[in-house]
């Protein structure tokens, strides 16, 4: 399966929208690093981003909002917060 910038951004967005739990995001990232295919021109960058997601469940690394913003920025996306009535 080809893993693109959009693929990674969508996985991260699903986590931020509480559609995907952290454990599932980490599991996907670990599998993607081992078995995924990356476009050759973007492989180094995508591998770094996905590898970072793969260790997000380790206490020393975690995954803060700032981390998500930075990773999305690396992918060419920007995070935006929207407030709605509860």
**Token duo for residue 75:** 């992918």
| pLDDT score recorded for residue 43 | 96
Give the start-end residues of each E strand in 6-84.
none
Residues near 40 by Cβ (< 8 Å), separated by ≥ 6?
none
| pLDDT score recorded for residue 6 | 97
> What is the distance between the alpha carbons of residues 13 and 30, in angstroms, rounded to a whole number?
17
Q: Which residue has the higher pLDDT, 61 or 9?
A: 9
pTM: 0.91
- When pLDDT is cut at 50, 70 and 90, the band that residue 55 belongs to is very high
Q: Compute the mean pLDDT over every residue in the chain, rounded to the nearest whole number.
A: 95
| pLDDT score recorded for residue 1 | 82
Name the residue ranges covered by the structural domains of the chain.
5-75
What is the average pLDDT across 31-55? 96
Q: Give the angle subtended at the CA of 79 by the CAs of 76 and 81, to the nearest 5°.
A: 165
């Amino acid at each position: 399966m080809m893993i693109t910038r959009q693929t990674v951004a969508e996985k991260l967005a699903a986590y931020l929208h509480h559609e995907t739990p952290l454990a599932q995001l980490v599991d996907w990232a670990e599998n993607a690093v081992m078995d995924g295919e990356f476009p050759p021109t973007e492989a180094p960058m995508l591998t770094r981003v996905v590898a970072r997601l793969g260790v997000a469940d380790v206490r020393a690394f975690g995954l803060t909002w700032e981390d998500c913003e930075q990773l999305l920025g690396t992918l060419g996306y920007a995070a935006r917060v929207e407030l709605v009535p509860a």
